[in-house]
Amino acid sequence: MVLFRLCFVIACALVVGAACPARAEPSEAELSRQFSEQVAPFLKTYCHACHGSEKPEAEFDLTKYNSLAHVAQDYPTWDIVLDRLLAGEMPPADAEAQPSKSAVEAVTD
Ligand code: HEC
C-alpha cells in the first residue's frame, strides 16, 4: 500500500464522487485486502504500543482502524499518519520497534 494510493482513491472519490478512471488504480477490494495483509500488521507491530486503546499517546488510538472502511471514514487523519510516516517521525526514534525503510515504503508507496 498503499496508504498513498488509498488517499488518492479516497480523495478522488470525495472530489468527483467516483473512483478515478484515468489511472489504473487498484480496486477497493484489492486495497481492502492490502490493508488487512500489510497495513494492519504494520500498525500493530510499530504503532499500537503507544497508540493503543488504553491511554494512547496524543489521544490517538490506532487500534480502532481495523478495516479499510474505518480508514476511509477518517481520511484527513490518515493524511497526517502518512506525513508522519514519510517524515520518519513515527514511530519516534526511542520506540522499541523500528520499521525498516522498506517496511515503511511497503505501506506508504
Ligand atoms: C514510542 C511511542 C510511539 C510509537 C511507537 C508511535 N507513536 Fe505516534 N505519537 C507518539 C507521541 C508521544 C505523539 C505526540 C507527540 C507528537 O505528535 O510528536 C504521537 C503522535 C502521533 C500522531 C499525531 C496525532 C495527532 O493528533 O496530531 C500520529 C498521526 C502518529 N503519532 C502516528 C503514529 C504511527 C502511524 C505510528 C506507527 C508507525 C506511531 N505513531 C508510533 C508516540 C508514539
For the cut 60, the answer to whether the pLDDT of residue 103 exceeds it is yes
What number is the average pLDDT over the span 99-103? 94
More confident residue, 20 or 24: 24
What secondary structure, in 3-state letters, does 22-67 show?
A: CCCCCCHHHHHHHHHHHHHHHHHHHCCCCCCCCCCHHHCCHHHCCC
Q: Domain residues for 51?
A: 3-108
Compute the distance from residue 88 Cα to the ligand 1 centre, in Å.
Answer: 11
Compute the distance from residue 74 Cα to the ligand 1 centre, in Å.
Answer: 16
Total structural domains within the chain: 1
Compute the distance from residue 43 Cα to the ligand 1 centre, in Å.
Answer: 11
What number is the average pLDDT over the span 59-66? 93
75 CB within 6 A, ligand 1: no
